[in-house]
Amino acid sequence: MDKSFGTLYNKLTSLFHSNPSTSSNQSSIPELGSPLPLSNFFDRLVPSPSAAAATTTTTTSPSIDQRRISSRVVSRQISIKTNDNRILIPNDLSKQQNKIEDHSNVLQPELGRKSAPLHHEPAVSVPGMDDEEFRRRGKEMIDYIADYLKHISERRVTPEVEPGYLRPMLPKNAPEKSETWDNIMADVERAIMPGITHWQHPRFHAYFPAGNSYPSILGEMLSAGLGIVGFSWAASPACTELETIMLDWIGRMMALPVGFLPFDPVRDDKDSDDDDDEEESCSESEVEIKANNSHDSVMNGETHRESKQSRHIGGGVLLGSASECILVAMLAARTKKITSKRLADPLMEDGQILARLVCYTSKLAHSCVEKAGLIAMVRVRQLAVDEHFSLRGKTLEECIRADKEKRINTIFGTTSCCSYDNLEEIGEICRREKLWFHVDGAYAGSALICEEYRYIMKGLHYADSFNTNPNKWLLMNFDCSCFWVRDKFALINAMSVDPLYLQHKHAQKAVDYRHWGVALSRRFRSLKLWFTIRSYGIDGLRYYIREHCRLAKVFALLICADSRFEIIGDVTLGLVCFRLKLLVLNRSVRVENQKQMFLSVTEIHPRVDFERIQM
């Protein structure tokens, strides 16, 4: 505790103890957060001059050092001032007005100087939008968004601007005075919209799908209006619990192995009448979690082994992006490996262990894997793929054999052409070699809600963690990434920092998601999930994905019918990769140069580059 703050607290406690009206059995300082009558507080904080004299003769302390506290009743308000910040507290104690003037030297007699001049002005509202204008402008904004999305096809997909276009259009300095909302929205049309790339445009086929829907937008609006920072259960119980339930909902929708789910479906099925399909999915996966729970897991620096009858230790969390999910998975894997090595050899330093760790991944995996390695200080080794652009178990096994004692993590996923690594082959090796196996299903994972596409994730039961992005393909807007882990304690052990001011009495029974990721402050993302899933239903979301996949196959047939083009890779979901057969033409012809369509270009080999189009 800061010395000067401790001195101030001692002064305040001495005032409580010195109040003559307080009986002996009530003289102790109340616990932090317990209610105290306002009259008692100010009677004790600012005693009469005689009591103040008694207080100053019985209490000694070092200098408060730059902390000045003064109290003054002005217009039925008491202003308590610390440094330059004021907190105005309503006060009905008019009888104190003549009594309380300036007792700063009671709290700081040794400073030998008066406190800074007090401000007598009553509190006033900050100029800006009031609730009535907010109602009016909010309705206008809803109309603006609806009109934008309805007529978006009339706009160009990409803007005609050059880097730095916006600076000359805006003032160099922020305005000193408030501006009207009409002027602000006029500048949106004048300066912002000309520089927007319209991701919701029907001819936007670049990068990846950017999900959106009206229920999701309304969920974001309510989240912003509530203004919640849900870092712990105590910070907002509904925010935490709805997030847990949504991760369970989506996990069941995708038929994930039960080891990933926040709630144990096997236990739930005993108390509910779930449909037959769900019960069958859970029973098929029951063996998987028991096998995984038998691995060592670490919590609070100690190793414990879960038995077959152990409690459910899986769970999920909403994070900002797939990049964050992969980083968190790598940090958890790194911590678990370092801890196990240190237990086996207490003389080894963390730095020695870290220098020997490596992450294996496909050379076509997303670039965020490489960035996660940079942040986690783990070397990333990219492995070759087969003729179908898939990482195979044999390739991984050969690399492990050459790099014995250097492994940590295997990442799944090929961004360039939407191919899929062989999870069963890789998973068996990872389990045998005790490697952390993470599966990145950022785009394709959403398709698991459709039973006919679940084959692409065959072998997922071997994985230690899994992520997918509903904001890509489940009609949620950005940001919204789902991350599941089989052993939440391995994750918490890597991410937990628990200062006193963030602790609460329900910590043993509740989930605190601040221990599940990098950020402390967390948005109420689960609201838009809840709104969207309920508005469309699982059947509606399945129809949306199946229609995208159907359109992709139609487009692939059109490409194959033109002898100038060829398809690269398999068309499995909603992504079609194609190119002109003549390489020279392929590198010179770009459809998006006419601003009528936006495609992405990628390369899987120095001599093989092509266009990507996503439905």
For the chain, what are the domain ranges? Answer: 3-111, 135-221, 222-534, 536-614
pLDDT of residue 151: 94
Between residues 294 and 175, the one the model is more confident about: 175
Residue 25's pLDDT band, with cuts at 50, 70 and 90, is: very low
Residue 290's pLDDT band, with cuts at 50, 70 and 90, is: very low
Between residues 426 and 547, the one the model is more confident about: 547
| Cβ contact 55:44 at 8 Å | no
Phi, psi of 613 (to 5 degrees): -130, 125
DSSP state of 158: S
Residue 187's pLDDT band, with cuts at 50, 70 and 90, is: very high
CATH superfamily name and code, 536-614:
Aspartate Aminotransferase, domain 1 (3.90.1150.10)
Specify the 3-state DSSP secondary structure of 172: coil
pLDDT of residue 606: 47
Distance CA 66, CA 507 (A): 36
Instruction: State which H helix or E strand residue 219 sits in.
Output: helix 214-226
Least confident stretch, 272-276, 285-289, 524-528, 588-592: 285-289
pLDDT of residue 180: 93
Distance CA 595, CA 578 (A): 19
Question: Which CATH architecture group holds 222-534?
Answer: 3-Layer(aba) Sandwich (3.40)
pLDDT in tens, 435-451: 889 998 888 899 999 99
Instruction: State which H helix or E strand residue 584 sits in.
Output: helix 583-588
pLDDT in tens, 595-613: 556 666 655 554 444 444 5
Look at the chain and count its residues: 615
Distance CA 375, CA 368 (A): 10
Pairing of strands 302-305, 296-299: antiparallel
Residue 572's pLDDT band, with cuts at 50, 70 and 90, is: confident
Question: Which residue, chain included where needed, has tokens 């009339």?
Answer: 154
Residue 592 reports pLDDT greater than 60: no
Which residues contact residue 509 at a Cβ distance below 8 angstroms, ignoring those fewer than 6 apart? none
Specify the 3-state DSSP secondary structure of 405: coil
Residue 213 reports pLDDT greater than 90: yes
Residue 214 reports pLDDT greater than 90: yes
Over pLDDT 70: what percentage of the chain? Answer: 64
Residue 49 reports pLDDT greater than 50: no
pTM: 0.69
**What mean pLDDT is reported for the chain?**
74
DSSP state of 454: G
Question: Which residue, chain included where needed, has tokens 């912002």?
Answer: 192
Specify the 3-state DSSP secondary structure of 224: helix
Tell me which residue of 598, 335, 271, 608 sits closest to 464, measured CA to CA.
335
Least confident stretch, 377-386, 445-454, 528-537: 377-386
Tell me which residue of 423, 368, 417, 361 sits closest to 601, measured CA to CA.
417
CA separation, residue 8 to residues 5, 14, 53, 54, 458 (Å) = 5, 10, 17, 17, 63
pLDDT of residue 13: 52
Which residues contact residue 89 at a Cβ distance below 8 angstroms, ignoring those fewer than 6 apart? 38, 77, 78, 79, 80
Provide, for the chain, the percentages of residues in helix, strand and coil under a 3-state DSSP scheme, each rounded to the nearest 5. Answer: 45, 15, 40
Sheet with strand 608-614: strands edge to edge? 565-567, 575-580, 608-614, 600-605
Phi, psi of 594 (to 5 degrees): -85, 0
Residue 288 reports pLDDT greater than 70: no
pLDDT in tens, 77-100: 444 444 444 444 444 444 444 444
User: Virtual CA dihedral for 479, 480, 481, 484, nearest 10 degrees?
Assistant: 150
Residue 51 reports pLDDT greater than 60: no
Between residues 105 and 236, the one the model is more confident about: 236
Q: Please determine, looking at this structure, whether the domain spanning 135-221 carries the CATH number 1.20.1340.10.
A: yes
CA separation, residue 363 to residues 181, 416, 602 (Å) = 50, 10, 13
Residue 189 reports pLDDT greater than 50: yes
Specify the 3-state DSSP secondary structure of 409: strand
Over pLDDT 90: what percentage of the chain? Answer: 32
Instruction: State which H helix or E strand residue 483 sits in.
Output: strand 481-485
Mean pLDDT of 167-187: 95
Residue 105's pLDDT band, with cuts at 50, 70 and 90, is: very low
Tell me which residue of 225, 184, 431, 471 sits closest to 325, measured CA to CA.
471
Tell me which residue of 259, 240, 235 sits closest to 464, measured CA to CA.
259
Mean pLDDT of 163-187: 95
DSSP string for 252-301: HHTT--GGGSSS-HHHHHTTS---HHHHHHHHHHHHHHHHHHTSEEEETT
Specify the 3-state DSSP secondary structure of 324: helix
Residue 185's pLDDT band, with cuts at 50, 70 and 90, is: very high
The angle formed by the CA atoms of residues 18, 24 and 25, to the nearest 5 degrees, is 130
pLDDT of residue 11: 55
DSSP state of 562: S
Mean pLDDT of 251-272: 81
Residue 53 reports pLDDT greater than 60: no
| Cβ contact 459:424 at 8 Å | yes
Least confident stretch, 21-25, 177-181, 494-498: 21-25
pLDDT of residue 407: 52
pLDDT in tens, 229-241: 888 888 889 999 9
Residue 571 reports pLDDT greater than 60: yes
Least confident stretch, 383-397, 487-501, 508-522: 383-397
